[in-house]
Amino acid sequence: MSAAIEFRNLSFATPQGRLLLDNISLALPEGSITAILGRSGSGKTTLLRTVNRMVEPTSGEVLVHGSNVRDTDLIKLRRGMGYVIQENGLFPHFNVERNVGCVPETQGHPRAARIRRSHELLTTVGLDPTSFARRYPHQLSGGQRQRVGLARALAAEPRILLMDEPFGALDPLTRAEMQDMLRKLLHRLKKTVLLVTHDLDEALYLADRIVLLEEGKLIADLDAAEFLSATQPEIQSYIRAFHRGERAVEQNANQAAGTPNPSETAK
Amino acid sequence: MSSGFFSQYGSEMVTLTLEHLWLTASAMIFATLIAVPAGIWLTRSPRWARPIIGIANVLQTIPSLAMFGFLLPLPWLGEHAARIAIVALTAYALLPILRNTYAGIRGIDPSVIEVARALGLTDRQRLIKVELPLAASFILAGLRTATVTCVGIATIAAAVGAGGLGEFIFRGVASVDNRLVLAGAIPAALLALIADGALGLLERWLQAPAK
């Protein structure tokens, strides 16, 4: 019962019969930060979306705080979870303040309280309310939009945060800033987080557990340190694809400075 | 047109303009009440979109004089020329409103809809807070097209005795009096331009906050 999210023998096939999730069982403890890693099409987004029932599994079940999501009121279930996606999905006709406060708004909270809460959250995600609250999404940079998206996801004080490639569309520097902000925030907030990413570095930096999916199958469920030292070929190929640039530069430098190649001296 | 013409036909011109306006406005109200909800429903059941929009399309292609003729023998309608006119005009106004409502909502960035659902907005909240405001300028553009079409077609209503500015035009054609034709055509054109302009302003105003 201590698991915040639990997948039991979960499978999902498209109506065309393509198996996207293949018998996945996994339990995520309350307060844990789990990264779901995998290449495009591995089923990681689908897995995430079964939690808030944006996808209904073909078989198996998803439990949230011990109760089957299928038996939970859909609206209540979704309002209890923050949701952040790569395209941010901010409402273009709402200003930042109203975007952030939109879940409390749908719950009928009074306007003054919503605005107070929304300003508080903007500060939390590193945006000054006095200059950002009244702006519209198209007046923001990509990173700022993601911050607003994150603030909106936190507005109803959800215990669970679902994030699908939240920083996937950002440049590396902005992404690093966002990761720093999120890392600090998550350590403070103690929420159960499910983070979908294809970036091993991001997974290691933010999560305490890494789940690897491949073709809908669960390949590994390890903590970050275990993951790096694991010998499974699927994990190894992931690690090999990581920091390649650095290794290449190192190799080139060694070649240039090191012992001259004997075949070249022979010429 | 001399001042003698106005003293002779001036008051009739006002009456016919008001009649014209009344026919068009009633038809637009009915068409909006039918086509906007229907368009919303189609976005929920998109497999019906092709057949239903197809039907509205066919209605649109019926020549207007023929449409008035078809409706003439119908029991409840035939008794009242204005009823025929309003039904016919409503039929013509359906397509642009229906199509734009459907396309306007379907055209919203899917990630916005996705997040609206995932954040736990109810279907009704999603419609009222997100979809309708984002599609509003599109829907209004449909209303605009429909209004201009209706103002034009309403001149044919005089053929079945429903009045309106077509009255002058038909009389003018019959008596080869260009002044009468113009007395119908110019106010009708002005009505169309004014309606188009006013709805255009409204459209621009609605568009202002979002990009």
Q: Specify whether the backbone of A157 is left (phi greater than 0), alpha (psi in -120 to 50) or beta.
A: left
Provide the sign of the torsion angle of the four alpha carbons A251, A254, A259, A264, taken in this order: positive
Q: What does DSSP say about strands A217-223 and A209-214: parallel, antiparallel, or unpaired?
A: antiparallel
Averaged over A48-68, what is the pLDDT? 93
So what's the ipTM on this one?
0.85
Kindly list the residues from chain B whose CB atom is less than 8 angstroms away from the CB atom of residue A152.
Answer: 119
Question: Residue A232: what pLDDT?
Answer: 87
The reported pLDDT for the residue numbered A261 is 53
CA-based end-to-end distance of chain A: 73
Residue A260 has pLDDT above 60, yes or no: no
Q: Report the pLDDT value the prediction gives residue B204, as an integer from 0 to 100.
A: 85
**What H or E segment, with its residue span, contains residue A158?**
none
Q: Select the more confidently predicted residue: B80 or A24.
A: A24
Number of domains in chain B: 1
Q: What is the mean pLDDT of chain A?
A: 90
Say which residue, A11 or B75, is predicted with more confidence. A11
Q: Is residue B159 part of a domain?
A: yes
Cβ neighbors of B208 (< 8 A, separation 6 or more) are none
The answer to whether residue A89 neighbours chain B at the CB level (below 8 Å) is yes
Q: Do A79 and B120 touch (CB under 8 A)?
A: yes
**In this complex, is the C-beta atom of B85 within 8 Å of any C-beta atom belonging to chain A?**
no
Task: Give which of B108, B102, B130 is closest to B43, Cα–Cα.
Answer: B102
Query: Residue B163 maps to which CATH number?
Result: 1.10.3720.10
CA-based nearest distance A86→chain B, Å: 9
Range of the domain at B51: 10-207
Burial grade of A14 (CB within 10 A; 0-12, 13-18, 19 or more): exposed
Is position B157 within any domain? yes
Pick the more confident residue, A44 or B210.
Answer: A44
SS (H, E, C) B61-72: HCCHHHHHHHHC
Q: Is residue B160 part of a domain?
A: yes
Would residue B131 count as lying in a domain? yes
When mean pLDDT is compared across A87-91, A191-195, A210-214, B149-153, the lowest value belongs to: A87-91
- pLDDT, residue B90, reads 94
Name the residue in chain B with its Cα closest to that of A52: B118
Angle A30-A174-A242 from CA coordinates, rounded to 5°: 70
Is residue B139's pLDDT more than 80?
Answer: yes
The C-alpha angle with vertex A188 and arms to A186 and A193, in degrees rounded to 5, equals: 30
The answer to whether residue B4 is domain-embedded is: no
Residue B193 CB contacts under 8 Å (≥ 6 apart), including other chains: none
Residue A267 confidence (pLDDT) above 50: no
Task: List CB contacts (< 8 A) between B138 and chain A.
Answer: none
Does residue B99 lie within any of the structural domains?
Answer: yes
Strand partners, A222: A210
Nearest CA in chain B to A54: B118
pLDDT in tens, A37-50: 988 888 999 999 99
Q: For B146-169, what is the mean pLDDT?
A: 90
**What span, in angstroms and rounded, lies between the C-alpha atoms of B133 and A102?**
15
Q: How many percent of chain B have pLDDT more than 70? A: 97
B124 reaches A (C-beta below 8 A): no
Tell whether B117 is covered by a domain.
yes
Tell whether A194 is within 8 A of chain B (Cβ). Answer: no
* Whole-prediction pTM: 0.84
pLDDT tens across A190-249, in order? 899 999 998 899 999 999 999 999 999 999 899 888 988 888 888 888 888 887 888 888
| B121 Cβ under 8 Å from any chain A Cβ | yes
Is the residue at B1 inside a domain?
A: no
CB pair distance less than 8 Å for B117 and A78: yes
CA distance B120 to chain A (A): 5
Residue B33: how many CB atoms within 10 A of its CB? 12
Q: Does B119 touch chain A (CB under 8 A)?
A: yes
Of A54, A92, A105, which is closest to B118 when you measure between CB atoms?
A54
